[in-house]
Amino acid sequence: MADPLHTIAHTLRDAFAAVTGLPAAEIDPVVRPSPRADAQANGALALAKQLDRNPRELAEAVVATGALASVCSAVEVAGPGFINLTFTARFLAEQLAAAAADPHLGVRPAEVVETAVVDYSAPNVAKEMHVGHLRTTVIGDALVRMLEFVGHTVVRENHVGDWGTPFGMLIEHVVDLGGVGETDLSDPGGFYKQARAKFDASDEFKARARERVTLLQGRDDDSTMAIWQQLVDQSADYFDIVYGRLGVLLRRNDIVGESFYQPYMPAMLARLETAGLLAESDGAKVVWVPGFTNREGEPLPLIVQARTGGFNYATSDLTCVIDRVERLHATLLVYVVGTPQSQHLQMVFEAARMLGVLVPPARAVHVNFGNVLGDDRKMLKSRSGEPAMLLDLVDGAIARGRAAVAERNTDLDEVERAELGAVIGIGALKYAELSSDRIKDYVFDWDRMLAFDGNTAPYLQYAHARICSIFRRADVDRASVRAVVPTLDEPQERALALQLLQFDAAVHDTLDKFSPHRLCTHLFDVAQAFTSFYEACPVLKDGYEATRESRLALCDLTARVLQLGLALLGIDVPERM
Ligand code: ARG
């Protein structure tokens, strides 16, 4: 266990148990980093309340057990009953060495290993991916990487919109163009718009589109199914181009679209029926989910079968929950979907609970997010006034990354520069997304995300590259300093050590809240602590031979934390910049 706060929390828990007689498992000593000391424990306050005791006396009794003496150089009871802790340099150094010896750099594996399904990206077939898909794709991918890293079995699912009434007009449009083989979906947006325009303009086309939907739902008209399959395949090609360029893990075999659930829907409805949950409202089949009302305050039903007999978005999502729990045996269902779909998802989850499917340990989490805004504080648009296209943003990021590299005049050759530019540009785009609190809207700003100072990817990437260059100059192999137990005499060395040791807490905190910006903030703190250390503590300078190995060890661990932390966010780090 390399996180000193975690180690201390354990020690304190036992001490509180000894003093109060409560079982250790019921005690939370609430240990946090603190500006007053290395850490502060506030647990005495809640415990004292629970036991009707004086919190200061309780804190003092815990200190008097002497349990902290071996790892703290100072322990002080302050205020109403806080315990301020200052760690010994030796304890910190040993924890650092333990982290350095661990490929996970001290990040503890999950206590309970689960199967998690992460539902993210979810674009629609035969439509372009736009700015709305940026957040779900980037956040979902980071969560996938982190969940896997702490030991969970993760199933990526791309719940693409590949079914439903729009396919009538899309298929009919393919027929008009000359059938399978004659369409080109490299511009899916244009294709969709052409179909839509015909649908709006011609009653004859509209009628054909409606008939085609019926044929599609029957699933047994070969030419209809062939055209549908072609649209799905061509879209998957296009999605793969976007995912590849953006550097996310999703690929076509992660697609489990809405169409996949269609065959299971009648059985799902039958289960609702058997459970007595299926009701009728205005001719539609619905589930009355308690606690949900419309604007007029009337109870809101979850419609699972329209009056016409058709299935809808709720039908597929409810069927999908059953699939994830019962076929995939997932206990953690993560939905990375925008805030506007919150009510829909909560109703689906509640219906699945009522059905007895989504019951502990299985649970669902809506990882919601706000909008990406332009300067005008409205949904980010392209020049033509439509939502900005995702591929344009990705290519814009790569171009700007390359320009930044060209400006910095490095001694790299053409190929290296192009690669570095993409790493910087894509890193900047993803990090801007991940570092802002997902719940809030954020304003998209190329200059800010590509800046080499501030809480940006280029700043963190540069900190990493700078450390690599220290080792190149010293001509020292990085692995050779990994067994060194550093001395931590200077305050900046201590401060850096404390930051490095909180990597574990940052990763777990991020996963507890499904909020990647927490890990970003931590990495930024690490990079800043490194900058202060590097300014105050010479590493390679003549006259500092005695501290050289120790400081190189701090440099190496810093670079590893930055590299691993960014990798967990889906961001690469260069060795030179
Ligand atoms: N395809 C949907 C859209 O573009 C998002 C689907 C989200 N995932 C889900 N299971 N409902 O709005």
What does pLDDT average to over the chain? 95
Say if ligand 1 is within 6 A of residue 124 CB: yes
Of the chain, the percentage scoring pLDDT greater than 90 comes to 90
User: Which stretch of 219-223, 321-325, 327-331 has the lowest confidence by average pLDDT?
Assistant: 219-223
Rounded Cα distance between 560 and 566, Å, is 10
CA of 243 to the centre of ligand 1 (A): 17
Domain over 390-568 is classified CATH 1.10.3720.10: no
CA of 161 to the centre of ligand 1 (A): 7
Residue pair 521/455 in contact by the 8 Å Cβ criterion: yes
Residue pair 3/505 in contact by the 8 Å Cβ criterion: yes
Rounded Cα distance between 167 and 173, Å, is 10
The pLDDT value recorded for residue 180 is: 76
| Residue 426 exposure: Cα atoms within 13 Å on the Cβ side | 25
Question: What is the mean pLDDT of the segment spanning 312-318?
Answer: 96
3-state secondary structure of 300: strand
The pLDDT value recorded for residue 2 is: 63
Question: What is the mean pLDDT of the segment spanning 391-417?
Answer: 91
Kindly give the residue spans of alpha helices, DSSP state H, lying in 414-544: 414-435, 446-449, 457-474, 491-501, 503-513, 517-536
Question: Could you give phi then psi for residue 466, rounded to 5 degrees?
Answer: -65, -40
3-state secondary structure of 154: strand
Say if ligand 1 is within 6 A of residue 159 CB: yes
Q: Where are the domains of the chain?
A: 4-87, 166-250, 390-568
- For the CA of 160, the closest atom of ligand 1 is 1
Place of tokens 């802790």: 85
**pLDDT digits over 80-124, tens only?**
999 999 999 999 999 999 999 999 999 999 999 999 999 999 999
Question: What is the mean pLDDT of the segment spanning 198-222?
Answer: 94
Tokens (6 digits) for 359: 């019951």
Strand 363-367 relative to strand 372-373, pairing: unpaired
Residue pair 301/288 in contact by the 8 Å Cβ criterion: yes
Say if ligand 1 is within 6 A of residue 317 CB: yes
Instruction: Check whether 409 has a pLDDT greater than 80.
Output: no
The Cα-based distances of 416 to 94, 419, 422, 431, 559 in angstroms read 39, 5, 10, 22, 21
Full-model pTM: 0.95
**pLDDT digits over 4-30, tens only?**
888 899 999 999 999 999 999 999 999
Residue closest by Cα to atom 2 of ligand 1: 122
Residue pair 217/167 in contact by the 8 Å Cβ criterion: no
Tokens (6 digits) for 552: 């190189």
Say if ligand 1 is within 6 A of residue 525 CB: no
Question: What is the mean pLDDT of the segment spanning 23-49?
Answer: 91
Instruction: Quote the distance between the C-alpha of residue 171 and its chain's center.
Output: 35
CA of 341 to the centre of ligand 1 (A): 9
**pLDDT digits over 475-533, tens only?**
999 999 999 999 999 999 999 999 999 999 999 999 999 999 999 999 999 999 999 99
CATH architecture, domain defined by 4-87? 2-Layer Sandwich (3.30)
Q: Which residues, other chains included, contact 356 with Cβ-Cβ below 8 Å and sequence gap of 6+?
A: 275
Q: Which residues, other chains included, contact 350 with Cβ-Cβ below 8 Å and sequence gap of 6+?
A: 289, 290, 291, 292
The Cα-based distances of 392 to 8, 128, 160, 232, 379 in angstroms read 49, 11, 21, 22, 15
- For the CA of 136, the closest atom of ligand 1 is 7
DSSP character at residue 327: I
Say if ligand 1 is within 6 A of residue 161 CB: yes
Instruction: Check whether 410 has a pLDDT greater than 90.
Output: no
Instruction: Check whether 1 has a pLDDT greater than 90.
Output: no
Instruction: Check whether 231 has a pLDDT greater than 60.
Output: yes
3-state secondary structure of 385: coil
**pLDDT digits over 144-156, tens only?**
999 999 999 999 9
Kindly tell me the sign of the dihedral angle through the C-alpha atoms of 71, 72, 77, 78: negative
Radius of gyration of the chain (CA): 28
Q: Which residues, other chains included, contact 448 with Cβ-Cβ below 8 Å and sequence gap of 6+?
A: 432, 454, 456
3-state secondary structure of 387: strand
Instruction: Check whether 68 has a pLDDT greater than 90.
Output: yes
Tokens (6 digits) for 398: 């790569």
Single-letter residue type at 28? D
User: CB 134: neighbour CB atoms within 10 A?
Assistant: 24
The pLDDT value recorded for residue 95 is: 94
- For the CA of 313, the closest atom of ligand 1 is 11
The pLDDT value recorded for residue 3 is: 79
The pLDDT value recorded for residue 371 is: 95
Higher pLDDT, 188 or 551: 551
The pLDDT value recorded for residue 7 is: 87
In 330-420, at which residue ranges do the beta strands (DSSP E only) sit? 332-336, 363-367, 372-373
Residue closest by Cα to atom 4 of ligand 1: 123
The pLDDT value recorded for residue 408 is: 85
Q: Which residues pair with 303 in a beta bridge?
A: 286
Say if ligand 1 is within 6 A of residue 508 CB: no
Rounded Cα distance between 117 and 367, Å, is 12
